[in-house]
Chains A and B, each alone.
Chain A
Amino acid sequence: MQDVTPSHIGVASWDGVMYQFPVDGDRHYLKYRKDVIDNPEYQKKYKADTGKELRVPQTWKEYGEMAAYFNDWDWDGDGEKEYGSAEVMKKDDLMYAAFYSRSAAYSKNPKTPGGFFFDLDTMTPLINNPGFVEALTDWVAATKYVPPGGINFGLGDEIGSFGGGQTLFSFSWDDAFVAAMQPDSPINNKVGAAQLPGAMKVWNRKSNSWDEGFNQAPFFVWGWAVGVAKKSKEKEMAFDYLCFFANEANHQADIGIGRFGVNPFRNDDFKAEVWTQIGWDKDIAESYVDTLAKMEESKNRVFPLRVPGTFEFNAALATAAAKALAGQLSPQAALDEAAKQWNDILNRVGKDNVRKAYSVGVAMEDNKL
């Protein structure tokens, strides 16, 4: 347990007390086709056509521009068309997490601590502020550079699409990246990992205006954790099994297989040799562990909601975002609808109940835990 990263100790804890036994560590980050982004010919062509550098996208706007450029043509010479990006856009399939990933850079302002989802003082939902609206506007534009049917991609589709070599970019859990790096993958050792893109402006809810300048915020998405029932008659046996399940050897075997869904959460996982010994190229392994390590070091992180009514909040947001992606509502109208529903949920659950729980998450986001 001493080897668990501080972030995932926080994830498995509540208000400083660890209640869960972590067996997995989840986070969202950018995955890209290294053989394309680092290709000098494509860099030259991209520069000539757009006047911009082809590089690992630093912002969501760059991400969108590159994805649109590399959309709907055969850029890897396999005789089939490739596309810009694979994303989890299917409602009720964890798509809310994808939206939070896209929103963090525009809405998690290190100058305004005290809440990403709600203003902790007033418990006003923040999800319809201009930062979130900008992110949803970007996301609606993304429907133009995902594969046909990409608007209906769930997590499995995203893993299959990027892992199968169909897209230039993807972002979400590790699984697609690890699947892409497996020996049987058509893009084995052709992918790179990087932080989620940032933004050149971030919404300041105190001044009610944009703060100009680069901002980036990693998104931790919990991870599987296990609990042992208080009334269990065989607590020791249960913990013994968990220790076996998550021991170093089993853990090392699990994290190298994408479909297993077990992702790094131990400090040892952040060593490049762990990955080179299962066949990853050294520079890819280094970029991967460097990405994960930088997320740990960041002081501007976002963690998902852990409050009474979380399912309702996330479902309301996902439905609204899905309506915007499908063209049923504008981004602003969709998020206004979600904010109204969040207020209704708050009234049902009780603002103080939610505030009390959310304050723990805010303390993590504000680096106070």
Chain B
Amino acid sequence: MNFKHKFVFLFPGLFVLIGILIFPIIFTIRLSLSGWNSYTPEMNFIGITNYIRLFTDDPRFWESFFRLSFLSVTTVILQYVIGFALALMVWREIKFKRFFRVIFLIPMMTTPVIMTVIWRTFFHESLGPVNDLLGNIGVKPILWLSDPVIAKFTVIIVEVWQWTPFMFLLLLAGLLSLPKEPFLAAAIDGASPFRKFVYVTFPLMAPISIGAIIIRLIEASKIMDTVFVLTSGGPGTATETSSFYIYIKGLREFQMGYAATLSFTYLVIMIISLTIIAKVLTKLMIKE
């Protein structure tokens, strides 16, 4: 097969790649160098003005980025711990195993925006059932959505509820694919369940754990719908994340050029930070 034939077979894939990945990135970079907004909707060229504005005069973006880091790392850690525990629970032969496996997956199958609307109704501080129920046992209304600190944890609760099943699914698949021999050897050696977990299960699960954590970190770093519906980034800017801020700049204020600058910068930061995180996790979790 000569080069031309290979090219013909590669072309459909390359075409799709260029269409959905390369072109949008190049377009975003070009857009970021323009002042496109609602009053000058044109692809003019303003050089790196938007980047200078971002790095010298936009603390709100950086605040939202650090807030996002906190939210995504916290939610993913919780999802990993809970997801792993649930996967271990239904990994072994227990009664109603299939039932539990399906039940645990339900949150992931629901539509995030609709579920967040329902959570918002639950957590509504004066009309929602959560404070109502707590009131019955003498607990004062909790400001789930309007206290700057508690609102962050409310976002975390909803995210953990929605996406722990994804972690559960990946980790359960990993557990089911583990070889049986190391466990038999550990049993012959008389290892306790705890030692089996620490010295056999966890190390064997490390590669898939890293994969699951990275996939969830990528997803969690795009938190937008939950924040949009639950708090609109409030109170104040207490739950504003990078993607929500980019949405405000781009689709609320129609500063398309500046929003492209934010998007591209965010993409670069995420690629660098996730690469570093993957390396660190590999070093910590996989022993040669």
Contacts and interface: CB of A to CB of B under 8 A. Distances in A.
Interface string A138-168: 0000000001111110100100110010100
A83 interface: yes
B26 to A, nearest CB: 25
B39 A353 contact: yes
A319 B141 CA distance: 26
A312 B253 CA distance: 5
Interface in A320-340: 322-329
Nearest to A344: B57
Interface string B116-148: 000000001111000100000000010111101
Given A93-B232, A148-B141, A149-B144, A319 B237 contact: yes
> Which of B35, B124, B144, B231 has the largest number of chain A CB atoms within 10 A?
B124
Contacts of B141: 148-149
A349 interface: yes
A297 to B, nearest CB: 35
Contacts of B145: 149, 152
A148 B248 CA distance: 27
Contacts of B254: 311
Contacts of B57: 344
Contact of B248 (A161, A164, A315): A315
Interface in B30-46: 35, 37-39
Contact of B126 (A150, A326, A327, A348): A150
B174 interface: no
Contacts of A161: 126-127
Interface string A99-127: 00000000000000000000000000000
A91 interface: yes
A322 B237 contact: yes
A149 B248 contact: no
Range class of the A interface residue count: 35 or more
A146 to B, nearest CB: 9
Interface string A274-318: 000000000000000000000000000000000011011001000
A83 B126 CA distance: 10
B241 interface: no
B11 to A, nearest CB: 39
A345 to B, nearest CB: 9
B237 A152 contact: no
Nearest to B144: A149
B252 A92 contact: yes
A304 B178 CA distance: 65
Contacts of A151: 146, 234-235
B255 interface: yes
B236 interface: yes
B248 A92 contact: yes
Contact of B234 (A157, A308, A315, A322): A322
A71 B19 CA distance: 58
Contacts of B235: 91, 151-152, 322, 325-326
B238 interface: yes
A90 interface: yes
B83 interface: no
B61 to A, nearest CB: 12
A341 B233 CA distance: 19
B231 A152 contact: yes
B232 A328 contact: no
A285 to B, nearest CB: 29
Contacts of A329: 236
B38 A328 contact: no
Contacts of A326: 146, 148, 234-238
Nearest to B140: A148
Contact of A154 (B39, B131, B232): B232
A348 B254 CA distance: 13
B35 A348 contact: yes
> Which of A92, A147, A149, A151 has the largest number of chain B CB atoms within 10 A?
A149
A270 B203 CA distance: 77
Contacts of A309: 37-39
Contacts of B126: 83, 147-150, 161, 166
Contacts of A91: 232-237
Nearest to B46: A348
A149 B146 contact: yes
Interface string B203-238: 000000000000000000000000000011111111
Contacts of A166: 126-127
A149 B252 CA distance: 24
B248 A152 contact: no
Interface in B228-265: 231-238, 248, 252-255
Contacts of A150: 125-126, 146
A92 B230 CA distance: 13
Contacts of A323: 236-237
A160 B126 CA distance: 12
Given A157-B124, A160-B127, 20 more contacts: A90-B234, A92-B232, A147-B125, A147-B127, A148-B125, A149-B124, A149-B126, A150-B125, A150-B146, A152-B146, A152-B235, A161-B127, A308-B39, A311-B252, A315-B252, A319-B236, A322-B235, A325-B235, A325-B236, A326-B236
30 contacts: A90-B232, A91-B237, A92-B252, A147-B127, A149-B124, A149-B145, A151-B146, A152-B146, A152-B232, A152-B235, A166-B127, A308-B38, A309-B37, A309-B38, A311-B252, A312-B253, A319-B237, A322-B235, A322-B236, A322-B237, A323-B237, A325-B235, A326-B234, A326-B236, A326-B238, A327-B148, A327-B236, A328-B148, A329-B236, A348-B37
Interface of B: 35, 37-39, 57, 60, 124-127, 131, 141, 143-146, 148, 231-238, 248, 252-255
